[in-house]
Amino acid sequence: MLRVSPEEIHEDTLLFGPESLGLDSIDALQMTVAIETNYGIVIRNPEVAKLAFHSLRSLKDWLSTELKKSPKTV
């Protein structure tokens, strides 16, 4: 359950931490599984996940870059 309305969410909105959407570790796990299921990209490195899940923009940019690479394990 988000603490903000959809109108308040922008590309630079933080996903985790203070002043963010308020996502937690369960949300991170669900996002990781969804990325693996929908895009075939396996995230094994926690530092990569931290950078990718910083904001909506960072996630979009990261996914775009990763979809151009092969193999799909990071």
pLDDT one-digit tens code per residue, 6-60:
898 999 999 998 888 989 999 999 999 999 999 999 999 999 999 999 999 999 9
Say if residue 62 is exposed, middle or buried (CB neighbours under 10 Å; 0-12, 13-18, 19+): buried
Structure tokens at 17: 């931490």
pLDDT one-digit tens code per residue, 64-74:
999 988 666 66
Structure tokens at 47: 């530092």
Looking at residue 19, its pLDDT comes to: 85
